[in-house]
């Protein structure tokens, strides 16, 4: 008769193998319970670094203990999926150029959930989370041995770098956890802090989201502060700078595999910052819905993307964009109109080429 521990270990290894077969690049197991970084997260909120992300303080008690988001679960299968750090940088952060990672990874985790139930021969109580609930996935991932917290606050893996998504499947199975990743392999490197154009990294592993370009272009719903517009340069949605300069990504970032759901969509991959900004600024609601169906970029909504596009044109546009910006000044959305007027003023203030 096989001992229970041997059976559990065999199941865990089969679960990881199945996760890899489904397309995940990393997989590990963590025991649910009190969260190591809960106090740091609470302190971060208290210091105002979350900005307008008012949803983050909600369900604070559940964020402090990973057993609470889905009661009855005791283990987490934590996975990572690479989204291609070798593709060239551009106006849209790499993670947002293809299909929405929430949809892609949730479907794969649901498939893993069904497979596990078939393996054990009974219903498995559980739920998949992909950045969709009161769960600190990064903390779970470190516990599951997938990496350490980099100085840019991203989870870093010694074989992948940081260009990957995280997800977790919480289950009511008693699985043997992997060893947590205890090492800090950033050493004395501070390239990410030095490269951030808005000085959003206050200190190692402490991000002021209100200054982060990803926050400004995605999560912020109001006006982008005047002093942070120029540092955005041609970045229209998200930012990869702190990851691009990380030596672990320089060495280990990967190309996207063929047929990856995260491959850049037509209309994003073939446009530079100015061209994409012009395209978005000219969109109506119907065009927006068609262009960004199934894309994570829809999170910013059309008003947010048009606001960002106006800022980009204010930074990299020229006299050819004046007529488009004049029309945008009359946009029915005050947020768009205000940023278009600011961009128009910036272009007109620039010296014209001889």
Entry pTM = 0.94
Same domain, 88 and 122: yes
Domain finish residue from 234, 256, 278: 256
| Residues 245 and 276 grouped into a single domain | no
- Asked whether the beta carbons of 330 and 214 are under 8 A apart, the reply is no
What strands, in cross-sheet order, belong to the sheet with 26-31? 26-31, 75-82, 164-171, 126-129
- Picking from 210, 230, 256, the residue at the C-terminal end of a domain is 256
* pLDDT tens column, 137-153: 999 999 999 999 999 99
Structure confidence at residue 8 (pLDDT): 47
Active-site residue (options: 131, 270, 284, 330): 131
CATH of residue 327: 1.25.10
Span 99-123, pLDDT tens digits: 999 999 999 999 999 999 999 999 9
Question: In the numeric block, which tokens belong to residue 64?
Answer: 């402090």
Is there a single domain that holds both residue 190 and residue 325?
no
Do 202 and 248 fall within a single domain? yes
Question: What mean pLDDT do residues 202-208 have?
Answer: 98
Q: Are 332 and 324 in contact (CB under 8 A)?
A: no
Which residues face 148 on adjacent strands?
156
Residue 146 sits at φ, ψ, to 5 deg, of: -85, -15
The residue among 256, 288, 308 that closes a domain is 256
Residue 131 is among the residues annotated as catalytic for this protein? yes
pLDDT tens, position by position, 290-347: 999 999 999 999 999 999 999 999 999 999 999 999 999 999 999 999 999 999 999 9
- What total of structural domains would you count in the chain? 2
**One domain for residues 153 and 298:** no
Q: Are residues 216 and 326 in the same domain?
A: no
Domain assignment of residue 206, given as a range: 1-256
Domain match, 208 and 68 both = yes
- In this structure, the answer to whether residues 294 and 251 fall within a common structural domain is no
Confidence bin at 283 (pLDDT 50/70/90): very high
CA distance 153 to 139: 11
């Amino acid at each position: 008769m096989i001992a229970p521990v041997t059976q559990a270990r065999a199941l865990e290894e089969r679960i990881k193998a199945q996760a890899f077969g489904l397309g995940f690049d990393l997989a590990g197991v963590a025991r649910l319970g009190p969260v190591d970084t809960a106090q740091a997260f609470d302190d971060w909120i208290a210091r105002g670094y979350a900005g307008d992300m008012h949803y983050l303080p909600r369900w604070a008690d559940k964020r402090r203990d990973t057993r609470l988001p889905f009661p009855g679960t005791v283990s987490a299968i934590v996975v990572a999926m690479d989204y291609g750090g070798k593709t060239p940088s551009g106006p849209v952060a790499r993670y947002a150029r293809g299909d929405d990672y929430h949809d892609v990874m949730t479907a794969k985790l649901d498939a893993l959930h069904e497979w596990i139930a078939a393996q054990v021969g009974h219903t498995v109580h559980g739920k998949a989370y992909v950045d969709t609930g009161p769960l600190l996935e990064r903390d779970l991932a470190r516990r599951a041995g997938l990496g350490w917290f980099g100085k840019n606050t991203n989870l870093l893996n010694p074989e992948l770098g940081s260009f990957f998504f995280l997800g977790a499947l919480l289950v009511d199975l008693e699985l043997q956890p992997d060893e947590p990743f205890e090492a800090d392999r950033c050493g004395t490197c501070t390239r990410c802090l030095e490269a951030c154009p808005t000085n959003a990294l206050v200190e190692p592993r402490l991000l002021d989201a209100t200054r982060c370009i990803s926050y400004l272009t995605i999560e912020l719903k109001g006006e982008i502060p005047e002093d942070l517009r120029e540092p955005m340069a041609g970045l229209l949605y998200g930012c990869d700078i702190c990851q691009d300069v990380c030596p672990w990504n320089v060495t280990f970032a990967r190309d996207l595999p063929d047929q990856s759901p995260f491959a850049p969509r037509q209309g994003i991959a073939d446009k530079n910052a100015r061209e994409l900004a012009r395209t978005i600024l000219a969109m109506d609601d119907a065009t927006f819905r068609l262009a960004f169906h199934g894309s994570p970029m829809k999170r910013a909504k059309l008003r947010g993307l048009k606001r960002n596009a106006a800022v980009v044109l204010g930074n990299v546009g020229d006299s050819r964009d004046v007529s488009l910006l004049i029309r945008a000044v009359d946009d029915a959305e005050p947020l768009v109109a205000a940023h278009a007027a600011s961009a128009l003023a910036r272009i007109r203030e620039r010296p014209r080429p001889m």
